Amino acid sequence: MSDAIVHGGNLHEAARRHGIPYEDWLDLSTGINPHGYPVPPVPADAWRRLPDEGDGYAACAARYYGAPDAPHVLPVAGSQAAIRALPALLPQGAVGIAPLTYGEYAPAFERAGHRVMPLDVAAATLPDAMTHAVVVNPNNPTAQHVNAATLHRWHAQLSARGGTLIVDEAFADTMPSASLAGATDRAGLVVFRSPGKFFGLAGVRAGFVLAVPALLAPLREALGAWTVSGPARHAVTAAFNDIEWQRAMRARLDKDSARLAALLDAHRLPLTRTPLFAWTPDARAAALHRALAQRGIWTRFFPAPASVRFGLPATDAQWSRLEQGLKDSMHAIDTTPLSTFHDR
């Protein structure tokens, strides 16, 4: 596939497209926590020395995620690297992927020779033709959640066929009890985790693959040595060990998410949400995305189905700006003929 995958956070593109200076934007186009973890000063050795695999980083992640132990955890430079490398290590077959989910999975599997087929996340059982399945849980962008019992049932079906269930839990830190991390001692189950979303540390490019050591070994070889830098390891370790910050942040995000939902509901916009973002499927989505952009508010637009994803504002001033921007944008599109509601 030659078309580049579009992601949120592309603020420089928004600034060029709409003629608004970069620094004047309110960026709500990602689901990254705007109240990022306050990383303590980085020790000088973290800059000078090569990353040391004996520093306890994997063990720290195993404790935080509830994985069986350190050998079941592979640190990676963001889950993106593993998403690209893993499909080539799995037996070729048909992989089930939801029609609207994180966009990197389908092309990664297709490049490795797999056939992509639609995954019905409401199904009790998986089709016999399906060898592997990818579930982003909760889903990005629809916020849909598949319960653990269903995932365990799907894993049993796939593993009996020699297949693999991949569960991407990038947004699962706000509901740790729903994670499958503790079951990754079972063959045929892979869990991706990312500290970038909940901890607001997307810039350090750190992630983890949780699976049986027999699968992690070839993945480690494919990705090479020193995939996670010393400063990134320092930042993530500090964040994982700060239990009080995590507890307070989960409570704060719950309140902020409810506030965002109330704001969207006030304009009668349908929505589903996680504590980190809200998703609004609506025929006017393209017009809403465009109207907000004209006011310097950047959101993520999805064409099929037409929908907009909103991240969380960080400050009272940003909340006020979003409230006013929504009011003005909805007024503008409510006076626009429905036939014009297409992204240009």
Q: pTM for the complete prediction?
A: 0.93
Q: What is the dihedral of CA 253, 254, 256, 260, to 10 degrees?
A: 130
> In this structure, are strands 26-27 and 297-298 parallel, antiparallel, or unpaired?
parallel
Does the pLDDT value for residue 4 go beyond 60? no
Neighbours of 283 (CB within 10 A): 12
**Which bin fits 94, alpha (ψ -120 to 50), beta or left (φ > 0)?**
beta
* Arithmetic mean of pLDDT, 276-299: 97
Question: For residue 278, which of 147, 146, 140, 179 has the smallest C-alpha distance?
Answer: 140
Does the pLDDT value for residue 316 go beyond 50? yes
Q: Which of 5-14, 68-77, 81-90 has the weakest average pLDDT?
A: 5-14
Q: Give the per-residue pLDDT at 343.
A: 41
Dist CA 167 CA 192 (whole Å): 6
* Arithmetic mean of pLDDT, 215-239: 97
* The two structure tokens encoding residue 30: 């990602």
27 φ/ψ angles, rounded to the nearest 5 degrees:
-95, 105
Q: Give the per-residue pLDDT at 338.
A: 43
Report the chain's mean pLDDT, rounded to a whole number: 94
* Arithmetic mean of pLDDT, 65-75: 98
Dist CA 11 CA 306 (whole Å): 21
Does the pLDDT value for residue 153 go beyond 70? yes
Map out the domains of the chain with their CATH numbers. 11-36+244-340 (3.90.1150.10), 44-241 (3.40.640.10)
Question: For residue 98, which of 112, 114, 79, 116 has the smallest C-alpha distance?
Answer: 116
Per the CB < 8 A criterion, the answer to whether 114 and 94 are in contact is yes
Does the pLDDT value for residue 344 go beyond 50? no
Q: Render pLDDT for 248-279 as a digit per residue (tens, 0 to 9).
A: 999 999 999 999 999 999 999 999 999 999 99
Q: Give the per-residue pLDDT at 336.
A: 60
Does the pLDDT value for residue 342 go beyond 60? no
Q: How confident is the model at residue 209 (pLDDT cuts 50, 70, 90)?
A: very high
